[in-house]
């Protein structure tokens, strides 16, 4: 089954599916700034577009271009900014 998820009034939407390594989602983030909490560790890949990310406990925002990724520990959080509609892959591992 392909699950459908929405956050922040539809400014972030994702589709959930299963892989042999665990759950994943692909989604789209609208321009704006958002904060996400994590239960599992999350490996976030930018598929198209660009994200600017601030991991919990860090002071510097990181620019994550298409083809790059970042990791968020379990039971943590991260802030993310987008200037353009950005597609991402999130792997819950």
- Return d(Cα 71, Cα 78) in angstroms, integer: 10
* 47 in contact with a second copy (CB under 8 A): yes
Q: Contacting a second copy (CB under 8 A), which of 51, 78, 80, 91?
A: 91
* 43 in contact with a second copy (CB under 8 A): no
- Return d(Cα 21, Cα 93) in angstroms, integer: 7
Residue span binding a second copy (CB under 8 A) among the ranges 32-40, 44-52, 54-62, 73-81: 44-52
* 30 in contact with a second copy (CB under 8 A): yes
């Amino acid at each position: 089954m392909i699950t459908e998820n929405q956050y922040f009034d539809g400014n972030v939407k994702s589709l959930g599916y299963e892989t042999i390594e665990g759950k994943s989602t692909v989604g789209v983030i609208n321009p704006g700034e958002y904060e996400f909490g994590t239960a599992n560790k999350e490996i976030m890949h930018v598929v198209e577009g660009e994200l600017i990310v601030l991991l919990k406990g860090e002071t510097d925002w990181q620019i994550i271009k298409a083809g790059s990724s970042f990791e968020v520990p379990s039971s943590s959080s991260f802030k993310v900014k987008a200037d353009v509609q950005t597609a991402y892959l999130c792997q819950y591992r």
